[in-house]
């Protein structure tokens, strides 16, 4: 079987002929698959890789406690606040 290369623009153009319902179905399934792929990739990370990705800081330049608290506060989604003690 020969390898075939198709540009993303060509794929998008081809999908333009689908009905709105089919476009939504395809989009939903593509997003679900992408989410599953990300979960699998995250599961393969070591703890060190996970924490590096989480804080996006090299270990040779560790963040301060104040920086960590700021990041936690900025990314809190629960709406519940409490005193952080470090």
Q: How much is the pLDDT for 30? A: 92
Q: Where are the alpha helices (DSSP H) in 44-78?
A: 47-55, 65-74
Confidence band, pLDDT 50/70/90 cuts, at residue 53: confident
Average pLDDT over residues 4-19: 87
In this prediction, what percent of the chain has a pLDDT beyond 70? 78
Quote the CA–CA distance of 78 and 59 in Å, as a whole number.
29
* Mean pLDDT score across all residues of the chain: 78
Q: How much is the pLDDT for 26? A: 93
pLDDT of 27 higher than 70: yes
pTM over 0.75: no
Question: Which residues, at least 6 apart from 26, have a Cβ–Cβ distance to it below 8 Å?
Answer: 15, 18
Q: How much is the pLDDT for 49? A: 76
């Amino acid at each position: 079987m020969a390898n075939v290369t198709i540009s993303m623009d060509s794929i998008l153009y081809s999908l333009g002929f689908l009905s709105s319902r089919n476009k939504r179905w395809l989009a939903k399934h593509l997003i679900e698959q992408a989410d599953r792929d990300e979960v699998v990739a995250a599961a393969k990370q070591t703890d060190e890789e996970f924490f590096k990705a989480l804080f996006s800081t090299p270990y040779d330049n560790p963040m301060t406690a104040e920086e960590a608290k700021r990041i936690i506060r900025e990314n809190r989604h629960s709406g519940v606040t409490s005193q952080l003690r470090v």
